Every structure is written in structure tokens, then in C-alpha cells.
Structure 1
Amino acid sequence: MAVWQHVFYLAEKGSLADLSATNEFIDGKHFNEASHWKYSNKSRNLFFEIDGILKKNKLWSDKIDLYGIQDSNCLEVVFDNIDNITSASFRIDFRHSYESVLRELIVFCILKGLVIINGQNLENLILDFKRIDIIIKSSSQWNSYHNLIRESIGERI
């Protein structure tokens, strides 16, 4: 993840609720995607429609579907030998306009019964653009990036 990106994890709503009771999806301070997606047993084709939002690109691994550009707005789906999802996440690039991509990803999640987990604090987010936009703009990544920009500009003056 780049300093100009905010990461979000994706999970299926039903299996996240089931695993939340046992806390199996949290490993220390990290989201344990493998437990979640193994439990949900979903195929990578769940995300094929993302190509209409972020174009599919080639990646170094044949076990990862990358939609978008890795160091910009993107969604990554990792899958096993039988095409079952083992991980799904997306990153928002706040150097550029990301609003339409974020709105479309939220709609996709609503239609597919997915939840969005904040990568910074593992909070299960309400699928609302304004709320998620506020989370991005108040994140440590946002602040760090903008501080670097201010320092860089200050050094040139």
C-alpha cells in the first residue's frame, strides 16, 4: 500500500456475522481474510463485474485478479487452486478524484451482500459514501500524505 492509499477489506456479510461471534476474523491487529473467505467458499467470479468499474489488469501472480492500477484505485482478489477467494480488498488513491469509484464499489457491495472493513481499525463500515469519505479524509494515511506534501512545498519556498 502506498502512502496515498487507504485500504479496505471486503467480506461477505453473512459469514462475517457468523465469525464475529468467535472473533476468528481478527488476528492481533489484522483482518484474517483467509478464515473469512474459506468459510464463505465463494468463487473469484463474484468480482468479475468489477471490470465495469476498474479495468482488469495483469499482475505478477496468476492467483490474483487485479482491477484498476496497483498504486492507484484498485481491487485485488486472491484465490486458490480451485478459484475460491482467499482474500479481497480495495485501495482508494486520494491523490486523484476517487468519488465515483468509491460510490460504485459501495453499490457493488450492497448488491453482492458484502461488507467493507476499514483497514486502519478493522471497523465494519456502514455502506454510505459520506461516512466512508470522512473516514478516508480523517485517516492517518491522508494526514501523513498531506503533511509530506506541505513539507515538500515548504522546502521549495
Structure 2
Amino acid sequence: MSEETNGKTVKTSGIGVGLIVFGIVLFMLTTAGCYFVIKSALAPLVPQEMQNQSKANGFLVQLGEFTVNISDVSMSRFLKTEIVIEVTDSKIKKSMEEEQLPVVRDLIISILSSKTVADLDSPHRARLKEEIKNQLNKRYKNAVSNVYFNSFIMQ
């Protein structure tokens, strides 16, 4: 390239333009790379229960709201949660809603009130759901397929 300034021909190099183009391309590639890395890193953080909820094909039993004291010796704390369970059989659903509701609620209250704050933190909630499900399945012959928390408040 050459430019004419005051009657003199001055050669300019394409290095400046090339450097700008290279910088723009590098910026775009870095942005795209960050997007895919962040997207793949956050994908496992989607709660498993949210994925399973869309596959729900059983019968949902509303167990209502539970308010229990947390088994923590340092201070008085409580848990307030609303639980829904999914069962595979309509007869068991009817039985749980009508005649067995006090038994089911008592079992869940016993489990919840035996937990500490650390046991109820977000990383351990999946384990808590499994424990509730396993205890109910002992009584109802593997009829409980999922446990859902509609709300979960510790104070």
C-alpha cells in the first residue's frame, strides 16, 4: 500500500489492519469458547428432580405442609416444607390420601425432625428424598417412585 502525502509517496504496511482483524477474530473465538465451557459446566447443576418431574407418569399425592424442629443442638431452628409424592398405583394413592395419610405424615415427620441443618442443605436434599422414598417403599411395596419438595424453608 502506498499513500501520497505532500507529494511524497509513503508506504504503509498492512500490519496495523491485520492486527485489528486478528484481534477481532481472537475476541470472537474466545467469547464462543467461554460460552461453551460455561454452558457445559452449568448443565450438571440443573436439579435432577426438575428433569424427572417432566417424566412424571404416576399419581401425585399431596401430603401437605410440614413444620418440624431441626435436630440441631446449638440453636432452635425449624424446617417448613411442602411434600408431594408420586406413586405408581391409583389404589395406593387413594389409600394414602384417605386412611393412611396420618401414618405417612408421621413417618416423614420422624425423618425430617431427625436431620441437622447440614443434612438439609441443598447438596444433601437428593439424599433426603431418597431416604423418604425408601422408607415409604418399605411400607408400600415399592409403589413410591418420586418425592418432590414444593417448598423448602429453613429458619
Q: Give the TM-score band, short-chain normalised.
A: under 0.3
Structure possessing the higher relative contact order (Cα contacts under 8 Å, 6 or more residues apart): 1
Name the structure with the higher helix share.
2
TM-score by length of 2: 0.27
Instruction: Select the structure of larger CA radius of gyration.
Output: 2
TM-score by length of 1: 0.27
